[in-house]
Amino acid sequence: MEPKRRTMLLLALGLASFVLVSFFAWRAVAASRPSLTERWALYVEEIQLESKLVVLSSQQRYTASKEFTGRLLAIMKISASIELTAWADVFYYVDAEKPEKWNINWDKKSRILSISAPEPDCLPPAVRTETIEITTKGGNLVSNAVFRLKKEAESMQDELSKDLLKRAKETLSDSEIREKLKDGLAGMGESFCLSILGVEPENVVVRFDKDKVSGSADVSW
């Protein structure tokens, strides 16, 4: 066989071997990856349908409970008296799961929309870990110890969020928060009238369950 033909044959065999090896390597990798359908299932299996109508969000600064700071100190094996504060995003919502707890009335003649809704609630505060501050009480801690406590608190974000939830729920009785919640629902009601009915309401009246019991003033939009 001529040298030139021998060289061409070797190149052809080498190329064929490379293609075959690449093909089987691709098949092995592809087999280890989920198919499109499987990937979609993996992505959506944790999604849950919710019936929470978020009507207000706010940023608030909270102080962690003594129980939480006690657990934090125990984990780090530090003996001290500290206070932990942090800013958190709080989202207030009204549950829309049970329509029978709602009463919505549209007076076409007077163009007044009346909304009676269940009592509002709030989601666990979303702690902004970069805002966590730790101060000592009645003693001093070296900066390294404070830094380690802060980093550990950041890693306990979910637990801290649950700890702050009790304090966030206390704001549900705050008159200013309740008025803003009613404003939020009233705004949604007005948008509904404009987009669905094509009419701008003259007034939107919002009441929550406890308002009907206590006889407090309604909020109009």
Residue 80: pLDDT band with limits 50, 70, 90: confident
DSSP-assigned beta bridge partners for residue 127:
88
Indicate if 12 and 77 belong to the same structural domain. Answer: no
**Higher pLDDT pick, 122 / 137:** 122
Q: Structural domain tally of the chain?
A: 2
Q: Is the pLDDT of residue 91 over 50?
A: yes
Indicate if 210 and 107 belong to the same structural domain. Answer: yes
Q: Please provide the DSSP assignment of 25-72 as one string.
A: HHHHHHHHSPPHHHHHHHHHTT-----EEEEEEEEEEEE--HHHHHHH
Q: What are the tokens at 139?
A: 């003693």
pTM beyond cutoff 0.85: no
Q: What are the tokens at 142?
A: 């070296």
Indicate if 85 and 17 belong to the same structural domain. Answer: no
Number of H helices, E strands in the chain: 7, 9
For residue 20, the enclosing domain spans: 3-44
- CA separation for the pair 209, 197 (Å, rounded): 27
Q: What is the pLDDT of residues 3-48, one digit of tens each?
A: 545 544 444 444 445 444 444 444 554 444 444 444 444 444 444 5
pLDDT of 137 reads 77
Percent of the chain with pLDDT strictly greater than 90: 50
Helix axes 143-155, 157-170, angle to 10 degrees: 80
Indicate if 56 and 22 belong to the same structural domain. Answer: no
Indicate if 37 and 80 belong to the same structural domain. Answer: no
pLDDT of 1 reads 55
Indicate if 87 and 122 belong to the same structural domain. Answer: yes
Indicate if 126 and 214 belong to the same structural domain. Answer: yes
**Higher pLDDT pick, 7 / 59:** 59
Indicate if 151 and 126 belong to the same structural domain. Answer: yes
**Higher pLDDT pick, 50 / 26:** 50
Indicate if 156 and 187 belong to the same structural domain. Answer: yes
Which H or E element spans position 76?
Answer: helix 66-76
- CA separation for the pair 95, 72 (Å, rounded): 34
